[in-house]
Amino acid sequence: MNTESYLDSIRRGLRGAMESDERVYLIGEDLLDPYGGAFKVSKGLSTEFPKRVLTTPISESAITGLATGMAIRGLRPVVEIMFGDFLTLCTDQLVNSATKFPLMYRDKVRVPLVLRTPMGGGRGYGPTHSQSIEKMFLGVPGLTVVSPSLAHDPGTLLKRTILESERPVLWVEYKSLYPKQLLNGGDELRIWQVEGEDGYPLAVVENFSGSDPDVVVIAYGGASVPLFESMRRLIPEEIRVRGLLPSRLDTRTKTPWWFSEITGREPIIVAEHGTRGFTWGSEIAAELNLTFFGRLVAPVRRLADADNVVPAGRGLEREVLLNEEQLIKAIVESIT
């Protein structure tokens, strides 16, 4: 049985990618041992691969540009941006260069660039180190956005992404997940993966067996923590919840393939971190309306963080971020 933490899994993926392909380089701030990166994800890697772990100045824009140039010339750079909040400084390179080149140039230029970053709150880092801003990068043509949850195998997915992607990938790791053990089917939650056409599986998690759910909750990344907690708490109430957790977020080209797992016969809730409104959940809800028009038993509900900054104080922070109480309340309301 897998007892890996999310962080260990990611590190295993990075290591595996570096071991199997010499073109993989790790680039980012404070990556060298003994420090091993702000969240220790790269710990040990600079010792094992000293030439291919490059510690950089505090230059997020140039790092992203540099890695784009390296990717164009046949390497497979993996950039670590220390906090997801700092993606604002990479935006120009990502939006106006890295994703544009494969789509506008004469030669079919490949930009196999993976930009990894820890996202989200829960650790009291305050307003500029706790945000979930991946929604700003959804809808950028040519940008794949991935954020595995506790119900996935993030390391294996990351390794494959690094070794196989031909276009830029924004890879979002929720920092609240790092110390947590991956869900492995060893407790009261049942879990299985549905493989899709794009290689990014959907994880299905249930707190019941042998019947249909009462409610379906769709979530990704860090929202898997409050979702699984609420599912566990609802077992004694015999409220049957099916969680659907895609690992890839961008859906812009067509209806997500994993809609095949949805019937519309149960109420649906979309839950996510990040300020509410204009979100991934908005897009999913809109697509659900189009796909299941006339068959939905109830309007799709959306849950997200408050429309506010993420405070540093623990109590204050908890009020702003999506949590299991809100989820339980919404689930109960949706079936009564």
Partner 1 sequence: MILIRYVEQSLLRLYAQGLMGGTVHTCIGQEGCAVGVVSAIDRQRDMLFSNHRGHGHYLAYCGDIHGLIAEIMGLPIGVCGGMGGSQHIQRENFYTNGIQGAGVPIAVGMGLAERFKGTGAVSLAFLGDGTFGEGAVYEAMNLAALWSAPTLFVVEHNGYAQSTPSSLQHAGDLSRRAEPFGIPVTRTEGADVIAVFEVANRLLGQIRAGKGPRLLFLDTHRFAPHSKGDDFRDREELERINRECDPIQRLAAQIGADTYEQVRKAAEIEVDIVLQELGVQ
Q: By the criterion CB under 8 A, which residues form the site for partner 1?
A: 25, 54, 56-57, 59, 61-75, 77, 92-93, 96-97, 100-101, 103-107, 109
Give which of 184, 186, 183, 205 is closest to 194, Cα–Cα: 205
Residue 20: other Cβ atoms inside 10 A:
11
String of DSSP letters for 284-308: HHHHHHHHTTTT-SSPPEEEEE-SS
Q: Which is nearer to partner 1, 54 or 296 (CB)?
A: 54
Q: Which is nearer to partner 1, 57 or 315 (CB)?
A: 57
Q: Which is nearer to partner 1, 71 or 284 (CB)?
A: 71
Q: Which is nearer to partner 1, 150 or 162 (CB)?
A: 162
Closest approach of Cβ 63 to partner 1, in Å?
Answer: 8
Closest approach of Cβ 199 to partner 1, in Å?
Answer: 26
CA 279/CA 282 separation, integer angstroms: 5
Q: By the 8 A CB rule, do 142 and 103 touch?
A: yes
Closest approach of Cβ 25 to partner 1, in Å?
Answer: 8
Burial class (CB in 10 A: 0-12, 13-18, 19+), 186: exposed
The answer for residues whose C-beta is within 8 angstroms of residue 183's C-beta and 6 or more apart is 150, 151, 189, 191, 203, 205, 224, 228
Q: Which is nearer to partner 1, 51 or 293 (CB)?
A: 51
Q: What are phi and psi of 10, to 5 degrees?
A: -60, -45
Closest approach of Cβ 183 to partner 1, in Å?
Answer: 38
Q: Which is nearer to partner 1, 20 or 96 (CB)?
A: 96
Closest approach of Cβ 70 to partner 1, in Å?
Answer: 4
**Coil, helix or strand at residue 198:** coil
Closest approach of Cβ 198 to partner 1, in Å?
Answer: 25
Closest approach of Cβ 173 to partner 1, in Å?
Answer: 23
Asked if residue 34 has a cis previous peptide bond (ω within 30° of 0), the answer is: yes
Closest approach of Cβ 32 to partner 1, in Å?
Answer: 14
Q: Which is nearer to partner 1, 108 or 254 (CB)?
A: 108
CA–CA distances in Å: residue 99 to residues 34, 59, 166, 179: 34, 20, 11, 32
Q: Which is nearer to partner 1, 168 or 281 (CB)?
A: 168
Q: By the 8 A CB rule, do 52 and 26 touch?
A: yes
Longest dimension (CA), the chain: 60
CA 313/CA 268 separation, integer angstroms: 32
